Structure 1
Amino acid sequence: MRKIILFDLDGTLIESGEGIINSLHYAIEKMGLPEQTSEDLRVLIGPPLLEQFMSYFDLTKEEAKKVVIFYHERYHPVGLYEGKPYQGIEHMLKELSEKGYILGVASSKPQHLVEEILQHVNYTHYFTLIVGSGEGDIRNTKRAVIKEALREVSFDEKSDNVWMIGDKEHDVLGAREVGVLCVSVLYGYGTKEEIESVSPLVIVQTVEKLHQLLLTF
Structure 2
Amino acid sequence: MTDFNTLIFDLDGTLIDSAPGIINCMRHTLTAMKFDIPSDFNRFLGPPLHNSFAEFFGMNENQVNEAVKIFRERYKEKGLFENVVYDGIPEMLRRLKNADKKLLIATSKPEVFAVKIMENHQLAEYFDIIGGADINGSRNEKNEIIEYVLKQTNITELSRVLMIGDRSHDIIGAKKCGLSSMGVLWGYGNREEFLQHGADIIVNTPQETADVIINPSAYCTLT
TM, length-normalised to structure 1: 0.94
Corresponding residue number in structure 2 for 1:61:
61
Deviations 1:173-195 (A, max 9, x none): 11100100110011111233322
Aligned to 2:41, the other structure's residue is in SS state helix
Residues 2 and 182 (structure 1), Cα distance of their counterparts in 2 relative to 1, 3 Å cut: closer
Corresponding residue number in structure 2 for 1:101:
101
Matched AA of 1:161: R
Give the C-alpha shift of residue 2 in structure 1: 7.5
Q: Where in structure 2 are the equivalents of 1:1-217 lying within 5 Å?
A: 3-37=5-39, 40-157=40-157, 159-217=158-216
Query: Hey, what's the Cα distance between the residues in 1 that align with 2:47 and 2:70?
Result: 17
Matched AA of 1:160: S
Aligned to 1:76, the other structure's residue is in SS state helix
Aligned to 1:146, the other structure's residue is in SS state helix
Taking only aligned residues, the RMSD between alpha carbons, in angstroms, comes to 1.4
Task: Name stretches of at least 5 consecutive residues in structure 1 with no aligned partner.
Answer: none
Deviations 1:151-193 (A, max 9, x none): 1111122x22000000010100111001001100111112333
Asked whether the 8 Å contact 2:4–2:213 carries over to 1, the reply is no
Aligned to 2:21, the other structure's residue is in SS state helix
Of 14-23 and 191-200, more deviation after overlay is shown by: 191-200
Matched AA of 1:19: G
How many residues align structurally? 214
Residues 183 and 155 (structure 1), Cα distance of their counterparts in 2 relative to 1, 3 Å cut: same
Asked whether the 8 Å contact 2:4–2:162 carries over to 1, the reply is no
Query: Hey, what's the Cα distance between the residues in 2 that align with 1:133 and 1:77?
Result: 18
Matched AA of 1:168: R
TM, length-normalised to structure 2: 0.92
Query: Hey, what's the Cα distance between the residues in 2 that align with 1:211 and 1:100?
Result: 12
Query: Hey, what's the Cα distance between the residues in 2 that align with 1:216 and 1:144?
Result: 30
- Identical columns (%): 33
